[in-house]
Amino acid sequence: MGITARLGRHARGVRLNVTPLGPLEWLGAFLAVVTGLIHVYLFLRTGFLPFLLAGAGFFGGVGLLFTAFPRRLLYAMGVPYLGVQIVLWVLTGMGSFALGVFDKTVQTLLVGLLVALLLIELEIDLIEEVSTVWDDRDEE
């Protein structure tokens, strides 16, 4: 079972996850751990607290992926979280340039993956809605 499997019931309009992680989710978790480790390393090297907080945010996101926290919400929160970090890195002078370029490449890949996962979720909802409409029509 992967991302295309049925994902459970809605709770106040937010889908709760009931399926195991698929390959795209595992890739996202890997990318988040990579950038999280980079941020913890930068904190240890510089003592700059925002690096530690950013790293903790990535590890927290990966942790939430393994809970009943709605994946769609996690993906939607991850896009601006990453976007702000990329923009801040550019605006602050692109420090630790080689490592920064690698990290921002990882983060850009993660943004693309999160957007793709969100689009897949929306497609699943659309398919479920169409099926419900057709099922209701058949009952009439």
Element (H, E) at 10: strand 10-11
Tell me if 30 sits within 8 A of 51, measured CB to CB: no
For residue 11, give the 3-state DSSP assignment. Answer: strand
Q: What is the DSSP string of 38-96?
A: HHHHHHHHH--HHHHHHHHHHHHHHHHHTSSS-HHHHHHHHHHHHHHHHHHHHHTT--S
Look at the block and give the residue holding tokens 């099922």: 135
| pLDDT, one tens digit for every residue, the chain (140 residues) | 444 444 444 445 545 566 789 999 999 999 999 999 999 999 999 999 999 999 999 999 999 998 888 899 999 999 999 999 999 999 999 887 899 999 999 999 999 999 999 999 888 877 877 777 666 666 66
**What do you get for the CA distance between the two ends of the chain, in Å?**
33
Q: How many residues does the chain have?
A: 140
- pTM, entire model: 0.79
Q: What's the pLDDT at 84?
A: 96
Three-state DSSP at 21 gives coil
Fill in the DSSP letter of residue 14: E
Model pLDDT, residue 18: 66
